[in-house]
Structure 1
């Protein structure tokens, strides 16, 4: 009985400690650029540049970034980097993450695009995380639409 009380008291203390963690607003992420990189074999590689905004009242330290990019509701690219850095309180920074696109993803997207009449307003979802240790990892999601140039018609 005594050990049961000790376990219950320990659980209550742990819950109290969790409630004292600071409130964290979610990070704000925007894709600011995509640059081509050298690929291997049948893969295509890009450097995705994201702006990470820290809307919190503390400095965020990270030691790695992971990204997954879906286009038209289909997985398209993923990447990781072990870059380390900090984002000051109420500050932002640009982080570059190399991502790989498999040949199968390119084929699937090409087929999906060929079924569309326009390349405007293609939906994307970018999911990722900034690794900051056990309790400081911050996950994020950014979504929107891509407007890609389509074929021009030569009506005169």
Structure 2
């Protein structure tokens, strides 16, 4: 019984040490995180209870080695509320000190659109423009251990007609 407990503790410590070593190796590479900004939204054909859009992302690689990716997933919050999500199997490479434009199809529920329309009608976007604040989270799959996660925030202009303007 004691021998079994000792073996279990040894195995647990070995796994913890290996995990810390991998984390340490990843941080020693000095690789900078990719920078991602929303640069546009374009309408796509959708279904009755959803809107579909092409979310245009500019992805910059400030590092001195190329970043290869094989798929992308995103979640977009607008004015503090969940708004759209999407995935794309797109693959490619972001050159060292370079950038690429990636288009990700996203789905927006009718409820999310109604929530935004109600917020704008209630005066929370009183400047009369279609520009609204966003927060973006996502992951580029296939680069490094488990992919490269990213997040950003800013303002984006919604497609004409989406918010009833």
Q: Provide TM-score, normalisation by structure 2.
A: 0.78
Please list every run of 5 or more consecutive structure 1 residues that lacks an aligned counterpart in the other structure: 151-156
How far apart are the structure 2 equivalents of 1:136 and 1:93?
Answer: 21
How far apart are the structure 1 equivalents of 2:12 and 2:82?
Answer: 45
SS in 2 for 1:64: strand
SS in 1 for 2:90: coil
- Corresponding residue to 2:17 among 12, 26, 35: 12
SS in 2 for 1:30: strand
How far apart are the structure 2 equivalents of 1:14 and 1:79?
Answer: 31
How far did 1:42 drift? 2.0
How far apart are the structure 2 equivalents of 1:6 and 1:98?
Answer: 44
- Corresponding residue to 2:39 among 32, 37, 51: 32
Contact 1:119–1:147 (CA<8 Å) still a contact in 2? no
How far apart are the structure 2 equivalents of 1:34 and 1:140?
Answer: 19
How far did 1:6 drift? 6.9
How far apart are the structure 1 equivalents of 2:75 and 2:109?
Answer: 13
CA offsets, 1:78-120, max 9 Å, x none?
A: 1111111111111111110001111111111111111113345
Contact 1:58–1:89 (CA<8 Å) still a contact in 2? yes
Residue aligning to 2:103? 96
SS in 2 for 1:36: strand
How far apart are the structure 1 equivalents of 2:135 and 2:95?
Answer: 26
Higher helix share: 2
CA gap of 1:20–1:113, structure 2 versus 1, over 3 A, is: same
- Corresponding residue to 1:122 among 108, 116, 132: 132
**CA RMSD of superposed structures (Å):** 2.8
